[in-house]
Amino acid sequence: MTLRTALVTGAAGGIGSSICQRLLEDGYRVAGTDINAAGLAALGEALGASFTGYARDQTHADAMALLVDEIERDLGPVDAFVNVTGWTNATRFETETQAYWEKVIALNFTSLLFASQPVLKSMIARKSGRMVFIASDAGRVGTGHEAVYAACKGAVIAFAKSLARENARHLINVNCVAPGPTATTLFTEEMRDHPEMVARMLKAIPFRRAAEPSEQASVVSYLLSDDASYITGQVLSVSGGLTMI
């Protein structure tokens, strides 16, 4: 049986690495990309030979086009694409700079365009493929101290729905997972820097805890599976009930 190939961006992060591990368990050959070369190398050592890391800067379109060509030469056509790359700080909009806005937009939205287009072209040629974008309920309901991030995630959601409409005729499914607070390194930093804000957030979650990265990965796994063959253009919140929309 030919192994399917999955490409995961932001693979060295907490959610990204868990998704890579889960997809390996699901039987994929996994290509992971991240700007964090050291983290990617460590992940490769932990996951073994079925994982191949590609240290790249996703904010460069040419680099992403070349990356997809390289992966398809090395591992075969990309059957599943998961975009995890993202970043923000907890700040107030009126205090932010243009440089900060540009970084947030580049890492949360523009980089998705650069990575998804070459993958989509390949999927259209084969009339087959699955895409899952990591969004956020910030993009659905808004959130304080993350206005530009929320705007980007709203754009991710609208982009996914639009791609889903355009490409259903090519048998390509496009969906979003919207994680709530998840126990990653970024969340740990927020707990350190903004303990009162995080405490209020956790109190608002009906389960009274942050998600584990593996709980996000399991939903991505489902959306890539044959069980989700008739699901496209959807946003599935994995937030412990923090948002119910």
Residues marked as catalytic:
149
Count CA within 13 A, CB hemisphere, residue 19. Answer: 33
DSSP for residue 169: G
Paired sense of beta strands 235-238 and 4-9, if any: unpaired
Phi then psi dihedrals of residue 105, to 5 deg: -65, -40
Query: Rounded to whole angstroms, how far apart are CA atoms 19 and 6?
Result: 10
Quick one: angle between helices 14-25 and 185-193, nearest 10? 150
Q: Among 78, 79, 34, which residue's Cα sits nearest to residue 53?
A: 34
Name the E strands within 135-227.
172-179
Those residues with Cβ within 8 angstroms of residue 90's Cβ, 6 or more apart along the chain or in another chain: 145, 146, 190, 193, 194, 197
Query: Rounded to whole angstroms, how far apart are CA atoms 181 and 192?
Result: 14
Q: Among 23, 17, 20, which residue's Cα sits nearest to residue 36?
A: 17
